[in-house]
Chain A
């Protein structure tokens, strides 16, 4: 992954043109190309480059998990030894019900957790089972944890950058 990739002007135009979704036509990338006045090949090549560089995580049919019944998300936070966080983070990140797993800074004494994993479920029971699996996986390396359940969504939009 190239960490120094800087999107050029066309890349930024592509981000703006696609961030709310592709047109549902037989040749969506051609339509975007026409809109931007470039060749379809160029659109596909630039998007592939952004994907390789990690600017685009994935191109996908993005489901709304709430609509599918996954109304509960538990943000689980864990205090694990700093020298173990990478190894344990990878294990948590590979679990099916975990959608995100990040290392974040501690802010002692207010906040002493260094590992975050977002766990999803349709019921409290489902989420609890997933959390128990994480507790077991971490074992003695779990020096403390909390689960912050979502009560309400107050705002939710995808990334939007200005034109």
Chain B
């Protein structure tokens, strides 16, 4: 189970971690515990992979070029095609989903030319047509989402 301090840290700081010279001290003051308790707690959350990291979350679109891609693959070939796709270092999320389009992944490249080349290579390597679904507009400020601890 996750203790109270861990919950408070996740709830509060999945939205924004202090950009201050002493961020853990800021958190300690806000949560009324010691700086060392905060650091120990975050360390243990990271060790157990409950928190994957503490740091900046970059905007793919601004830090490079990215798109969402879907491919319809015969179910028995899904693992093989997924493996081919995963070999591209530009692919950073890949999910099997229940649909005719059953393979969904995000491709991130340094710029739009590199992105186009990567999509072309993925088409060529897998032999399947792709559905290219770049983000046109974001309607969410991406502050994480509200967790229910019950």
Contacts and interface: CB of A to CB of B under 8 A. Distances in A.
15 contacts: A24-B46, A47-B56, A55-B58, A55-B63, A56-B57, A58-B17, A59-B16, A67-B48, A110-B131, A116-B133, A120-B145, A154-B85, A158-B92, A159-B92, A159-B108
B146 A30 contact: no
A125 interface: no
Given A53-B62, A103-B139, A60 B54 contact: yes
Interface of B: 2, 9-10, 13-25, 35, 39, 42-43, 45-46, 48-60, 62-64, 68, 70, 82, 85-86, 89, 91-99, 101, 103-105, 108, 110, 131-148
If over half of B's interface residues share one DSSP class (helix, strand or loop), that class is named, otherwise mixed; here it is: mixed
Contacts of A105: 133-134, 136
Interface of A: 3, 5, 7, 15, 18-22, 24-30, 40, 44, 47-48, 50-51, 53-64, 67-68, 70, 75, 85-86, 89-90, 92-94, 96-105, 107, 110-111, 116, 120, 122, 146, 148-162
A60 B93 contact: no
Main secondary structure, interface of A, reads mixed
B92 to A, nearest CB: 5
B58 A148 contact: no
A30 B19 CA distance: 11
A120 B134 CA distance: 21
A24 B54 contact: yes
A93 B14 CA distance: 17
A101 B138 contact: yes
Contact of A20 (B53, B70, B140): B53
Nearest to B67: A104
A154 B55 contact: no
A48 B140 CA distance: 20
A155 to B, nearest CB: 4
Given A68-B50, A155-B94, A62 B57 contact: yes
A58 B142 contact: yes
Contact of B51 (A26, A63, A111, A149): A63
